Copies of this chain bind each other. A is one copy, B any other.
Amino acid sequence: MPNELNLKTAALEKISHLDYFNIAISVDCVIFGYDNKELNVLLIKSDLEEFSGLYSLLGDLVRPDEDLERASYRVLEDRTGMEDVYLEQVHTFGTTGRHPSGRVITTAYYSLIDVTHHKFNLNHNDLHWHAVKDIKKLAFDHKLILNTCLQRLRSQIMEHPVVFNLLQDKFSLRELQELYEAILDVKLDRRNFRKKIAVKDWLQDLNEMETNLSHRPGKLYGLKEQYKIKGTNTLA
């Protein structure tokens, strides 16, 4: 926070105040989607020469009159057409060398979206889903950002009912379990998984069954209304 003393120090060092505005701030969104039993992330081909052939996360500079979160929502809505998505701030990356064209500090958010939602619509030909498991290298420090967000997501899912933002409104317990398995990259025991979920009391039994399967259908569940909280988890 710039208080008197700090700015005095700056003045003594003959640093013009304008220098402090030579840093740009951006947001980067790690947009997770779930499809075909895989956790995916939305990437775009990098347009920087330095990173030609590499993909990068979706991000943008923050506008001077725009909240950090608003900026993330803007990126999300612009790129995917989705509003009211789940969004959570994870970490801010601010090493000096991280952007080749200048000083850019970026705040990373992760977001969970239901790829089957009727509003979901990619606005750009170069936007593609990539299986998180298969991503080896990304432009900038985006691999680090992705890892950090994935780690955060993993630590959230047993504590908070967030993964439902990746699913349609109705789902079977098998689908839910497959989703957990995809995110955590582990195999789970069906009975223990159900017990654990049951104890959390997140789900509403919809008294409906799966349809169009070539085997016994499972019951369908939905997330209880009270847990349908979107947006960021702002504290206190």
Contact = CB atoms under 8 A, between A and B. Distances in A.
B18 A124 contact: no
A67 B44 contact: no
B7 A151 contact: no
A199 interface: no
Contacts of A11: 3, 21
A235 interface: yes
Contacts of A10: 17-18, 20-21, 61
B94 A60 contact: no
Contacts of A47: 3-5
Given A6-B59, A10-B21, A15-B63, 7 more contacts: A1-B59, A2-B7, A2-B99, A3-B8, A3-B56, A10-B61, A151-B235
The oligomer's copy count stands at 2
A122 to B, nearest CB: 13
A42 to B, nearest CB: 13
Contacts of A62: 20, 23, 94, 105
B95 A92 contact: no
Contacts of A6: 7, 17, 59-61
Nearest to A29: B1
Interface in A110-137: 124
A9 B17 CA distance: 9
B236 A147 contact: yes
